[in-house]
Structure 1
């Protein structure tokens, strides 16, 4: 991956595809999907239609003399191969503008994308096996096979997507900055809330619920130019123990309010940040859980301070050990620490690497650090930050204050 010549957006180079094709003695790499497929978004940067289109990578020795329209977005050398986007004719101008590869071919409405890809292969004289992502459409595979090509799965795209360049990291930073604005808005609402006689929180003259709080968050995110994407998880009390709660629940004093925000920016990259608050002084389980999660977060970050080369699983092990030392279970799927300490983030909200996996972390990995503990009888606590791994340490992409007592953040954010 590189920046484009104006430095405004990430673009794509294809060395991983070239290496995979060479290593497997294949004739090409093909993907067929629509705009919702994150691999296709990475390969083409084309925000195309919600119907399938095709991408084809051809190695240097392929015949690429067949006529096609050059892509105005191309900024790279052809040293790693030749790339073609088969786009619907109605989207031709957009495709030529957005695609960072070599050529755009247009097709009529209704042309099967798999057949268009096969035609590109035939024009280039491809005869060997064709590599595809595992999630490629079944009908596209059937059309490639019907054209005489052996089709085999490859993880080249996911490997290419894992390590982020400076341009991609900047996209994460921008959307993470917007995410903490949404978090600051929620914290401010909680700080300004009053407590009724029944311990229920009230704000702006009415009972405060997780849905009302979510609407405040989402309005802030939209104003900042990012898409909430249905990922504004807000739970209170028992629903804070639900890792993905997006329902409507009353909020009471003394219970945990967990806010996990993962908006998506215009370039397709995600943010991910979580904080947990308690209105009125926390005590008992809530206080102990928060202290434990803060300690686990520090333990994980201490491991990441070694930078590139640290074993991902050791980060999880250190965080889990800290939570266990505070008396929380780490061996249950329902109570205690029930998930990995973190995961990769990119064009997908969850992608490689996992912080409970066996691989070593590399410079350019963008990962979450998110220890949490949960108990439906009490609530849930999680603290989450987004970090980028550097050669000699890590960087928090957008710091946000810690603390379980909500404060008015309107002036700071």
Structure 2
């Protein structure tokens, strides 16, 4: 079953206005980011998906190039210093896409992705000069040229101040500083990424639907499995005539993800019994009756956006520890969801989930390797699997935040139970992305 064509997705663009505003608020001269296609901040800012080698983005405010509707005094200028052989792709993905028609976010309102022209007033261009030089050197040259063209002059000692993401590579920072610039870290990109546009939500929904399909196949495999015994007489679970292991089930899930047009990205976590208490188990082990089977599926879909879902099943369970844990985690999930609305402190959501688990007798502040709740209730999801906001961190929830709700309890000697959904914060509450059924007893879903 196919996941559908990406042609149906709304155009994906990034509004660079928050970056321009951050420069002006900080009384800096420019913003610089350096990385490659594995740098999620840079990929988000440029929508440039190709290069496996370093490139740079430079943004300056109030450039002289024509902006919206051909008028002068654009809000800013943005230059992508593309690597060799990628100029045409950069022109298409970074420059042309920001001129095409299509809907996107407009401040705090009009999130329906209408037919209005998108342009953030930031004039974009691609430069290929100095392609043999380090990306940091090329960025420094672009900064000098853009500031000179804009007749901008640094205050104080004459050294321009550049805002950079905290993750800027050390060697790039050295080149920028050697060129006479002062660097200052900014969280502007993190903040901008946290609230998703309608086009981004399209991609997250596509990825999460594929995630649900992978979960349905895994649950069906478990439902169709048979209980028997291995050569040593230990109870075991078999499927299609062979022992079912975590690795075999993982491969079955990943095949469905691939058919749906998403990549597992090494993020299909499946644990059984004690390994279900390992939050990131990707090893191979037997699946046995009566033990928890925890499946955490997080594929990467269109334009790098992730899905994320966890369910826990038990084949031929006896209703012991795993049943009590499951009831507690279900209650914690409901308590967390009930708190989600704009303006609520993120920590409140985590606090309610933890309090519910404590009410069921589980330690809500357990350390790694201990019995109880050992992690936060959720995190942001976008072009990174873990991004802002964190439900254990500061700040308030806002419309457009996409977060996981994933309470869990674990006993390293017995197993683990976790339930996770992807949630969009809306104007009046929240929406679960690609809802999936609950229950410890696996059912055939295909």
Structure 1 position 122 matched with structure 2 position 144? yes
Change (3 A) 1:7 1:378: closer
Distance 2:273 2:296 in 1: 15
C-alpha displacement of 1:358: 2.9
When normalised by structure 2's length, the TM-score is: 0.85
Distance 1:356 1:245 in 2: 23
Alignment match of 1:185 (pick from 193, 203, 217):
217
8 Å CA contact 1:271, 1:386 repeated in 2 = yes
Distance 1:390 1:75 in 2: 32
Query: Equivalent residue for 2:413?
Result: 377
Distance 1:119 1:83 in 2: 14
SS in 2 for 1:387: strand
Alignment match of 1:111 (pick from 124, 127, 133):
133
Alignment match of 1:102 (pick from 99, 120, 124):
124
C-alpha displacement of 1:214: 0.2
C-alpha displacement of 1:16: 1.3
Deviations 1:288-333 (A, max 9, x none): 00111111111111111xx211121111111111111111111211
Query: Equivalent residue for 1:315?
Result: 349
Query: Equivalent residue for 2:402?
Result: 366
C-alpha displacement of 1:107: 4.1
Query: Equivalent residue for 1:138?
Result: 170
Distance 1:146 1:112 in 2: 13
Distance 1:285 1:238 in 2: 13
Q: CA RMSD in A?
A: 1.9
8 Å CA contact 2:238, 2:244 repeated in 1 = yes
Deviations 1:161-193 (A, max 9, x none): 111111111110110000010001100000000
Distance 1:351 1:81 in 2: 27
SS in 2 for 1:54: strand
Structure 1 position 162 matched with structure 2 position 191? no
SS in 1 for 2:33: strand
Distance 1:145 1:358 in 2: 32
Where do 1:4-403 residues align within 5 Å? 8-60=10-62, 62=63, 79-99=74-94, 100=98, 102-107=124-129, 109-124=131-146, 125=148, 127=154, 128-197=160-229, 198-304=234-340, 307-333=341-367, 334-403=370-439
8 Å CA contact 2:268, 2:295 repeated in 1 = yes
8 Å CA contact 1:35, 1:47 repeated in 2 = yes
Deviations 1:69-99 (A, max 9, x none): x9xxx99997431111010130111111111
8 Å CA contact 1:31, 1:55 repeated in 2 = yes
Distance 2:317 2:178 in 1: 68
SS in 2 for 1:248: coil
Distance 1:282 1:46 in 2: 52
Deviations 1:211-239 (A, max 9, x none): 00000000000100001000000000000
Deviations 1:13-37 (A, max 9, x none): 1121111110111111001111100
C-alpha displacement of 1:266: 2.3
Which consecutive unaligned segments of at least 5 residues does structure 1 have?
1-5
8 Å CA contact 1:388, 1:394 repeated in 2 = yes
Change (3 A) 1:174 1:319: same
C-alpha displacement of 1:337: 0.5
Change (3 A) 1:92 1:293: same
SS in 1 for 2:86: helix
Distance 1:75 1:161 in 2: 26
C-alpha displacement of 1:364: 0.4
SS in 2 for 1:13: coil
8 Å CA contact 2:53, 2:83 repeated in 1 = no
C-alpha displacement of 1:282: 3.8
When normalised by structure 1's length, the TM-score is: 0.92
SS in 2 for 1:119: helix
